[in-house]
Amino acid sequence: MKEGAKNSIQQMRQLAIIVLNYKTPGFVVDCLHSLNGQIDPQTQEVIVVDNCSGDDSVIEIEKAIESAGWGSWARVVRSPVNGGFAAGNNVGIKASNAKVCLLLNSDTIVRDGAIETLMRTLDEHPEIGMIGPQLEWPDGTHQISTFRYGTPITEMIYASRLGIIERVFPKHVVARELHAFTIGIDWISFACVAIRREVFEAVGLLDEGYFMYFEDVALCRRATKAGFVIGYQPDARVVHLRGGSSPVKEQTRQRKRRPAYYYAARSHYLRSFYGVLGHILANLLWMTGWTIGALRGRTGAVAHEYIDIWTSPKHRVPIGNSLGGGDDG
């Protein structure tokens, strides 16, 4: 190995935590508070990416970093545009020079020891390409953060809300509740996920064709197809205040209409992995499940969903979607 390349590897940080902000400076500051004392400034850093908030977010966050004395391990990077969750996190990943990037929602509180536990698990299991912690509510109640791939049949299960269909197609039920350390799951929530740099080098960064939602399962599918393994470590615990950084979960709970970007992402995911015919099949199965569920007096649908599922994906080529700044081929 050449001396220059060797020195470059030695200078790489062990970990970069990427926290994406869009008009949530209070959440970000609370998140940074929880990380204080868990970061080694010599080998680790936290990069807060402001996703073109257009408010006083950067001023508030930088003021908090300065007044709290976190400047040795935390810094703010400004994105010139709001390209969504995937694009914003890509800005942070490109701004880092770390062996592991940990994507962390702004609406999280990291429990003591969680970062050390995740990093130790990666050291002990070199076969793991990405790993997530146990997500929980502030009172410690468990949140499901481990999943199976969504398929066209999944759409019928979701829309019907009938247990009998779940029992007939158990492998198409997305939620997979786990409570023990597990290796080899399909995908994990990106509210908090540690990803080795080798994953990005092999399969590219997050797909910026997704504005928000489904980019996590998409990257996991690309990674597992390339031979990487995904793990879950419940000994690391992170509070996730679901909905703090996005209104979609609360809209779903209240059965209100979801934003168009959710359905555009859904369509992009289905077409990416099942083709146009797979997208059409998924929608027809959704309609079937919705009809059956409605006849039984129950359905998983929200307002106007029977129309919104036909939303077309955004047809655009991701820009700079690789570590080197070029297109993700």
Mean pLDDT across the stretch 145-173?
93
Q: Please determine, for residue 10, whether its predicted confidence score (pLDDT) is greater than 90.
A: no
Let me know whether 126 and 163 are in one domain: no
User: What b/e string do you get for 161-191 counting C-beta neighbours within 10 Å, with b at 16 or more?
Assistant: bbeebeeeeeebbbebebeeeeeebbbbbbb
- Whether the Cβ atoms of residue 66 and residue 36 lie closer than 8 Å to each other: no
Of the pLDDT bands very low, low, confident and very high (cuts 50, 70, 90), residue 8 is very low
Q: Of 117, 164, 176, 158, which Cα lies nearest the Cα of 266?
A: 158
* Residues ≥6 apart with Cβ < 8 Å to 12: 97, 98, 99
State pLDDT tens for residues 188-230: 999 999 999 999 999 999 999 999 999 999 999 999 999 999 9
Residue 329 in domain: no
Q: Is the model's pTM score more than 0.85?
A: yes
Phi-psi region of 303 (alpha: psi -120 to 50; beta: other; left: phi over 0): beta
Question: What was the pLDDT predicted at 317?
Answer: 37
Q: Which of 50-64, 190-204, 243-257 has the lowest mean pLDDT?
A: 243-257
- Whether the Cβ atoms of residue 48 and residue 22 lie closer than 8 Å to each other: no
Q: Please determine, for residue 299, whether its predicted confidence score (pLDDT) is greater than 90.
A: no
End position of a domain, from candidates 194, 211, 244: 244
Of the pLDDT bands very low, low, confident and very high (cuts 50, 70, 90), residue 247 is low
Q: Please determine, for residue 20, whether its predicted confidence score (pLDDT) is greater than 90.
A: yes
| Distance between CA atoms of residues 230 and 129, nearest Å | 6
Residue 5 in domain: no
| Domain interval for residue 236 | 10-149+186-244
Let me know whether 233 and 272 are in one domain: no
End position of a domain, from candidates 228, 244, 260: 244
Q: Please determine, for residue 3, whether its predicted confidence score (pLDDT) is greater than 60.
A: no
Hey, which residues does 316 pair with through a beta bridge? none
Residue 121 is part of a domain; what is its CATH number? Answer: 3.90.550.10
Question: What was the pLDDT predicted at 319?
Answer: 37
Let me know whether 144 and 157 are in one domain: no
Q: Residue 66, Cα to own-chain centre: how many angstroms?
A: 28
Q: Please determine, for residue 255, whether its predicted confidence score (pLDDT) is greater than 80.
A: no
| Distance between CA atoms of residues 83 and 51, nearest Å | 7
Residue 178 in domain: no
Q: Please determine, for residue 174, whether its predicted confidence score (pLDDT) is greater than 90.
A: yes
Q: Please determine, for residue 318, whether its predicted confidence score (pLDDT) is greater than 80.
A: no
Q: Please determine, for residue 328, whether its predicted confidence score (pLDDT) is greater than 70.
A: no
Q: Which of 154-168, 215-229, 288-302 has the lowest mean pLDDT?
A: 288-302
Q: Of 74, 73, 85, 87, which Cα lies nearest the Cα of 24?
A: 85
Q: Please determine, for residue 7, whether its predicted confidence score (pLDDT) is greater than 50.
A: no
What is the phi/psi pair of residue 308, to 5°?
-70, -25
Of the pLDDT bands very low, low, confident and very high (cuts 50, 70, 90), residue 300 is confident
